Structure 1
Amino acid sequence: MDTNTANLLQQDPGPAALQGIKVVEMGQLIAGPFCGKTLGEFGAEVIKIEATGTGDPLRNWRLLQNGTSVWWQVQSRNKKSVALDLRQQEAQDIARRLIAEADVLVENFRPGTLEAWGMSPQELHAINPGLVMLRISGYGQSGPYRDLPGFGVIGEAMGGLRHLTAEPGRVPVRVGVSIGDTLAALHGVIGVMMALYHRKVNGGAGQVIDVALHEAVFNVMESLIPEYSAFGVVREAAGSALPGIAPSNAYPCQDGWVLVAGNGDSIFKRLMDTIGRPDLGNAPDLAGNAGRVARVQEIDAAIGAWTAERGIAQVMDALAAARVPAGKVYTAKDIAEDPHYRARQMILQQHTRDGHTLEVPGIVPKLSGTPGTVRSSAPHLGDDTDAVLQSMGLDAQQIAALRERGIVQ
């Protein structure tokens, strides 16, 4: 076992930034649960309400170990699972009782779902005025597209990202992960923290945070709209290049690809000296970015010719010595074997409730005084139903009666 990994898991977790905050998570799959995961890593108590029967569909996504997704082991660590059949009134009553004692509610259902269960913001704030309610959906809680179904991939398309993720003239492609969902979740976390701070310093009132998947994507699209507004320019796909900034691209090596960002004025000169092209480095018209953009194809060809004759390690060593930002394109294997990831505790060993040990991603961001921790592994469906119901005052006989009627699992 790696020393850094072992020490992290054995240390006293100490104080938690969100200790004392109770979160009820009613979402499923990615956007809502990723938000709950992040809050849980920093000390919030996260009670996840899942459907009886199968629970969160993420339990069965991608590669399974003993019938459970290994993705689930990351997404649902530090959470308690309560299985309720929310189609039944009694289960809805239990959910309302949990929400009445919560600081935060996270949900990513289609708009109108909670309202149909008698859990509109108005109804929930009537029983819990301080509730911070995060609602993540495809198109938001208002607007003409409100009721359309929307997943993260659709948000990526409408937000403008998919138009750019391609080689010029070729089909737009995924970035490889559910980036639309995750961006929405991170915006949700920011909203929750701002709302909790406002509640603390301004009298205790809660509020609703409305996050649309496409808006979270659109928020990181940089100069896309200002350029269209000012110049009528529609930014197009550019493959691995960074349009309007040069040189910044992926270049072939003998054993793979390297990304090189030589777009700073002094960095560019050092890069050209390193690849044996001082003529380009000293050219007056290439001293600034605008001139380099005008000759970007020539510059890219010069860099590519140099990298193509070398292996990745040789290229990386030479550029590091010249203080030129460069990076190998990492695979999962590269990440798992990289000493920097280990040194910064970004690969953790986590034990599942089925007795397995997995290496999983560490915790971001890193807080010096109240760091995030993995306090418990991902639960089986309904693992915590009895304990949570007992904390609400129900006795064993009452819980057994609910279970017999299929209200809880």
Structure 2
Amino acid sequence: MQRKTEQSAPPAQGPLVGINVLEIGMLFAGPMASAYLADLGADVIKIEPLKGDEVRRMGRSKNDEPLWWRVTNRGKQLVAADIRHPAGAAVVRRIAATADVLIENFRPGKLAGWGLDYETLSALNPGLVMLHISGYGQTGPYSSRPGMGTLAEAFSGFAHTTGEADGPPTLPAYPIADGVAAMTGAMSVLAALVNRSRNGGIGDDIEISLYEPMLSLLGAMAIDYDQLGVIGRRRGNRSTWTTPRNTYQSSDHRWIAVSAAANSGARRLFNAIGRSDLAARPDLQTNPQRMLKLAECDGAVADWVRRHTLQEVLDVFERAGVVAGPVYDVEQLFTDRHVIERETFIEIDDAVLGKLRIQGVVPRFRRAPGKVRWPGRPKVGQDTREILARFDYSDDEVEQLLREEAIRL
């Protein structure tokens, strides 16, 4: 069933135009996965609770309007339905019967109790691709535990290896585990849709934990332990396998990040800071050699950078071909000429706040570019009536759902 878009809404564009996604998500991982699909043209319907998604009450607000909500739930149409109510769950089943994809991130087993599990929904719609994201996955002794990104960042080993050597395990300031799981989930959905196009139209049931995508980012940590018994430790901004690699403070109290992972890059760096003696030393020609002299190599760069302004450092390093760049705050990012020219941030219209800027679609397709159609809509269940009509609910049926408090208009 091809869904119609609102006449006032910008048309969908991108490689996923015509793909219908139903999201029963909360907070970040599930909603972010569907937002990535919406960016690429998918038609996304989000089911939110009658009181509104919790993200509406998180983060900063302007004029009592939540800002984070507008990013996480961009490009989605909203239905407010109580999926714990039999009639509310029936609404979800009717929409799911023609959906290509359903994304959820409840605790394992929750949806089954409401008749919204894969077995039930795939019987109605064999082509359905269903994605589950949960803290610890659908199986295993911890599967029933509540899980948040914070716990995944801790459980995966990420926090243990992040921070200063003499400091505590460090958690990120933003929900990185949710974001990584969402990206993994979106990738998995697309793979399942490709497979469906090859197997006669049969969908699939996909499950992702929050901690395992985080673990996959941690490089050689697991194999180093398996083969060598090495347990990764916190090292601040220093790498475990290459040096010089760090952030260094300039004379004007700004910061620059430097990476000399390639041996030739390390030699260019040493020459650029006037230490041709280090560049030529036989015992500093490879990363393993330099790691044995980490304090000497790192200290030489730190000493030189702190005697120069950030711009002086950047100019010298650019001429020398050193891999380095400034550590930006968000204001500096917004005003950087490269970011401006690439249109990393786009301006879109918000029904309440007017013009606002958010990040644009990340993957840039030449032939089928995606588009952020609108920010997260301000009203809870803003599209409920229109979507129910689209799925053949009569006015009388809608009024009955309202009386039963199964939906909100």
TM-score (norm 1): 0.95
Per-residue deviation at 1:369?
1.2
SS of residue paired to 1:33: helix
Alignment of 1:28-47 (within 5 A): 28-47=26-45
Per-residue deviation at 1:376?
2.6
Mapped to 2, the partners of 1:15 and 1:73 lie a distance apart of 19
Question: Are 1:98 and 2:88 counterparts?
Answer: no
Structure 2 unaligned runs (5+)?
1-9
2:275: which partner in 1? Answer: 277
Per-residue deviation at 1:88?
1.1
Equivalent of 2:177, from 177, 180, 198? 180
Per-residue deviation at 1:129?
0.5
2:3: which partner in 1? Answer: none
Per-residue deviation at 1:60?
1.5
Per-residue deviation at 1:68?
2.6
Per-residue deviation at 1:166?
1.1
Q: 8 Å contact 1:60–1:67 — kept in the other structure?
A: no
Q: 8 Å contact 1:18–1:39 — kept in the other structure?
A: yes
Per-residue deviation at 1:65?
1.9
Alpha-carbon deviations, 1:184-221, whole Å to 9, x = none? Answer: 10110110000000001111111111100011111111
Q: 8 Å contact 1:353–1:378 — kept in the other structure?
A: no
1:8: which partner in 2? Answer: none
Q: 8 Å contact 2:181–2:214 — kept in the other structure?
A: yes
Mapped to 2, the partners of 1:378 and 1:252 lie a distance apart of 39
1:288: which partner in 2? Answer: 286
Alignment of 1:48-197 (within 5 A): 48-52=46-50, 54-197=51-194
Question: Are 1:395 and 2:394 counterparts?
Answer: yes
Mapped to 1, the partners of 2:79 and 2:338 lie a distance apart of 38
1:341: which partner in 2? Answer: 339
Q: 8 Å contact 2:242–2:260 — kept in the other structure?
A: no
Per-residue deviation at 1:289?
1.3
Alignment of 1:264-343 (within 5 A): 264-343=262-341
Q: 8 Å contact 2:29–2:133 — kept in the other structure?
A: yes
Identity of aligned residues (%): 36
SS of residue paired to 2:374: coil
Q: 8 Å contact 2:130–2:206 — kept in the other structure?
A: yes
Per-residue deviation at 1:340?
1.1
AA at the equivalent of 2:107:
R
SS of residue paired to 1:310: coil
Alpha-carbon deviations, 1:370-393, whole Å to 9, x = none? Answer: 111022332221110011000111
2:22: which partner in 1? Answer: 24
Mapped to 1, the partners of 2:403 and 2:102 lie a distance apart of 28
Structure 1 unaligned runs (5+)?
1-11
Mapped to 1, the partners of 2:368 and 2:395 lie a distance apart of 37
SS of residue paired to 1:109: coil
Per-residue deviation at 1:137?
0.1
Mapped to 1, the partners of 2:45 and 2:188 lie a distance apart of 19
AA at the equivalent of 2:275:
R
Q: 8 Å contact 2:13–2:40 — kept in the other structure?
A: no
Equivalent of 2:228, from 227, 231, 256? 231
AA at the equivalent of 1:69:
P
2:364: which partner in 1? Answer: 366
Per-residue deviation at 1:169?
2.3
Mapped to 2, the partners of 1:248 and 1:40 lie a distance apart of 37
Q: 8 Å contact 1:60–1:68 — kept in the other structure?
A: no
- Of stretches 390-399 and 280-289 in structure 1, the one that deviates more from structure 2 is 390-399
SS of residue paired to 1:321: helix
Per-residue deviation at 1:222?
0.8
Distance 1:195 1:139, change over 3 A: same
Alpha-carbon deviations, 1:286-322, whole Å to 9, x = none? Answer: 1111111111110111101100011111111110111
Distance 1:155 1:385, change over 3 A: same
Mapped to 2, the partners of 1:385 and 1:66 lie a distance apart of 25
SS of residue paired to 2:407: coil
Distance 1:230 1:273, change over 3 A: same
Mapped to 1, the partners of 2:225 and 2:351 lie a distance apart of 52
AA at the equivalent of 2:324:
A
Q: 8 Å contact 1:83–1:385 — kept in the other structure?
A: yes
Alignment of 1:347-362 (within 5 A): 347-362=345-360
Per-residue deviation at 1:405?
2.5
AA at the equivalent of 2:39:
E
AA at the equivalent of 2:232:
R
Q: 8 Å contact 1:14–1:370 — kept in the other structure?
A: no
Per-residue deviation at 1:14?
8.2
SS of residue paired to 2:32: helix
